[in-house]
Amino acid sequence: MDASNKSKTATLTVGNKNYDFPVKSGTVGPDVIDISSLYNQAGVFTYDPGFMATASCESKITYIDGDAGILRYRGYPIEQIAEGGDFLETCYLLLYGELPTKAQKEDFDRRVTMHTMVHEQMARFFQGFRRDAHPMAVMVASVGALAAFYHDSTDINDPHQRMVASMRMIAKVPTLAAMAYKYTIGQPFMYPKNSLDYASNFMHMCFAVPCEEYKVNPVLARALDRIFILHADHEQNASTSTVRGAGSSGANPFACIAAGIACLWGPAHGGANEAALQMLSEIGSVDNIPEFIKEVKDKNSRVKLMGFGHRVYKNYDPRAKLMQKTCHEVLKETGHQNDPVLKVAMELEKIALSDEYFISRKLYPNVDFYSGITLKALGFPTSMFTVLFAVARTVGWISQWSEMINEPNYKIARPRQLYTGQAERQYVQLDKRK
Ligand code: ACO
């Protein structure tokens, strides 16, 4: 195949015939070959399980350059947003495409805040779960259940109603997440408090109890807000592609987000920070690191350095740098700066970054390396780590869903396959089968 960037066409030879396909360029990033007419022209499909080299859609929301360690929301570097902005501003940016003015920001914050309560009937819905249910299972079910409350009022083809659904989602998912937590520990649900900002309100709903005054620590709330910013979107990752896939049939958006939560739950996606924290705790002391690294490098051991490596980032994950900084701030504030787990993490990172095994494979810390330690210090149990990820990613999912619905010619996601099962054979009646 000859992909010539100058002529902006790519030529594919199948048998002895040549077929030309348009090459499309984005604003930045690799060109793509538009092979949508391939089957009609040449009668063959392409084969790319896991989407290793396939762009599933066009998007204007998030850009990643994994080799350079770049992540941008709507063109703005993640470092600048995390330092200068807050999570609701990030939500506005992802949803609307531009940073809000002061008045727009105030209005947006107010609109999200006004939607944080969930229908009182939802509290009863929770009573059906076992107390030991995993909070992610509860999230899949309860966010999906919101479809039952907001179905008739959600016309997905109306941009205004799409935005109302988006606001509801961003506002209510933290309330449900806090309820999922409270339910498992047997404490009463705490209603949202409109006087608090987004992250502070979430901490209040998780950690306050009705019989005592709870004062949110602003340093910790700011840290949580930054964690939300870092996880807000990550272009066409598995859960986002799931949301787009579910939404491509025109399904209810709350049900689509529930599908995204289900996908995020898997250990290869949202569950890695829990594994990284467990690994650091098991290593226990800096003295045990050389032995652990030896095990990681041993081909037969199957031990991995959790929180290292990424399918897209072949450089330092920019979110990991920010997460490391946040981690230090949180541990200082909570008086855990001498936490042995942090010491192990820092030493492990130093050793791994200078070790030939990791350098040659371009294995760098990812966002999960420090997020587990940070979330634990904030007071969250490990079972809630992925739930917090879901709270933050909701805005990314809903922005990507809305962008797709807004496309005039969007199509149902319907991949093809390479069939390797039986060719045609004849049905045999039950009494004649051997
Ligand atoms: N520790 C040790 N070796 C590793 C690691 C690791 N964490 N990650 C990759 N490698 C090695 C592989 O064994 C392989 O070595 P080889 O070439 O000698 O066979 C080489 O590096 C390439 O690895 P792949 O698995 O092909 O890389 P891929 O891009 O498919 O995997 C993944 C990415 C799944 C994230 C992997 O790096 C990993 O399992 N990391 C640990 C889990 C983790 O931290 N996941 C969180 C990702 S971030 C997120 O989801 C928010």
Q: Is residue 267 pLDDT above 90, yes or no? A: no
- Would the pLDDT of 67 be above 50? yes
Q: Using 50, 70 and 90 to split pLDDT, how confident is the model at 48?
A: very high
Q: Rounded to an integer, what distance in angstroms lies between the CA atom of residue 129 and that of residue 410?
A: 38
Q: Whose CA is nearest to atom 17 of ligand 1?
A: 361
pLDDT band at 274; cut points 50, 70, 90: confident
Q: How far is the CA of 342 from the centre of ligand 1 (A)?
A: 22
| Type of residue at 188 | P
Nearest atom, ligand 1, residue 269 CA: 50
- Confirm if 61 and 235 have CB atoms less than 8 A apart: yes
Residue 4's pLDDT band, with cuts at 50, 70 and 90, is: very low
Mutational pocket test of ligand 1: of 62, 308, 356, the residue with most ligand atoms within 8 Å of the beta carbon: 308
CA-nearest residue, atom 10 of ligand 1: 309
The per-residue pLDDT for range 347-401, each reduced to its tens digit, is 999 999 999 999 999 999 988 889 989 999 999 999 999 999 999 999 999 999 9
169 CA from centroid of ligand 1 (Å): 33
Q: How far is the CA of 9 from the centre of ligand 1 (A)?
A: 34
% of the chain exceeding 90 in pLDDT? 86
Beta bridge partners of 76: 73
- Of the pLDDT bands very low, low, confident and very high (cuts 50, 70, 90), residue 154 is confident
What does the pLDDT average to over 284-307? 93
Give the dihedral of Cα atoms 152, 259, 365, 359; nearest 10 deg.
-130
CA-to-CA distance for 379 and 178, rounded, in angstroms? 13
Residue to mutate, 298, 314, 361, 375, ligand 1, most ligand atoms under 8 Å from C-beta:
361
CB atoms inside a 10 Å sphere around CB 195:
8
Q: For residue 173, give the nearest of 251, 97, 231, 247 by alpha carbon.
A: 231
Rounded to the nearest angstrom, the distance between the alpha carbon of 37 and the centre of ligand 1 is 35
The number of the ligand 1 atom at minimal distance from the alpha carbon of 357 is: 3
pTM listed for this prediction: 0.92
Candidate from 274, 314, 316, 363 with most ligand 1 atoms within 8 A of CB, to mutate: 363
- Residues in contact with ligand 1 by the CB-under-6-Å rule are 269, 272, 296, 304-311, 361, 363, 366-368
The 3-class SS string of the chain reads CEEECCCCEEEEEECCEEEEEEEECCCCCCCEECCCCHHHHHCCCCCCCCCCCCCCCCCCCEEEECCCCEEEECCEEHHHHHHHCCHHHHHHHHHHCCCCCHHHHHHHHHHHHCCCCCCCHHHHHHCCCCCCCCHHHHHHHHHHHHHHHCCCCCCCCCHHHHHHHHHHHHHHHHHHHHHHHHHHHCCCCCCCCCCCCHHHHHHHHHHCCCCCCCCCCHHHHHHHHHHHHHCCCCCCCHHHHHHHHHHCCCCCHHHHHHHHHHHHCCCCCCCHHHHHHHHHHHHCCHHHHHHHHHHHHCCCCCCCCCCECCCCCCCCCHHHHHHHHHHHHHHHHCCCCCCHHHHHHHHHHHHHHCCHHHHHCCCCECCHHHHHHHHHHHCCCHHHHHHHHHHHHHHHHHHHHHHHHHCCCCCCCCCCCCCCCCCCCCCCCHHHCC
227 pLDDT more than 80: yes
Q: Are 301 and 293 in contact (CB under 8 A)?
A: no
Long-range contacts, 67-71 (Cβ 8 Å, 24+): 67/314, 67/315, 68/315, 69/313, 69/315, 69/316, 69/317, 69/318, 69/364, 70/318, 71/234, 71/318, 71/319
pLDDT tens for each residue of 156-174:
999 999 999 999 999 999 9
Residue 5 has pLDDT above 60, yes or no: no
Side-chain-side CA neighbours of 315 within 13 Å: the count stands at 10
Interval 360-369: pLDDT, tens:
999 999 888 8
User: Ligand 1, closest atom to CA 369?
Assistant: 44
Long-range (24+ apart) CB contacts under 8 A made by 353-361 are 355/293, 357/296, 357/297, 358/305, 358/308, 361/309
The two structure tokens encoding residue 401: 């869903």
Q: How high is the pLDDT of residue 3?
A: 47
The residues that are catalytic are 310, 368
CA of 308, closest atom in ligand 1: 7
| Residue-wise pLDDT tens digits, 70-83 | 999 999 999 999 99
| 348, 349, 353, 356 alpha-carbon torsion, rounded to 10° | 20
Residue nearest to atom 22 of ligand 1 (CA): 361
The number of beta carbons lying within 10 Å of the beta carbon of residue 154 is 18
Cα–ligand 1 centroid distance for 314 (angstroms):
10
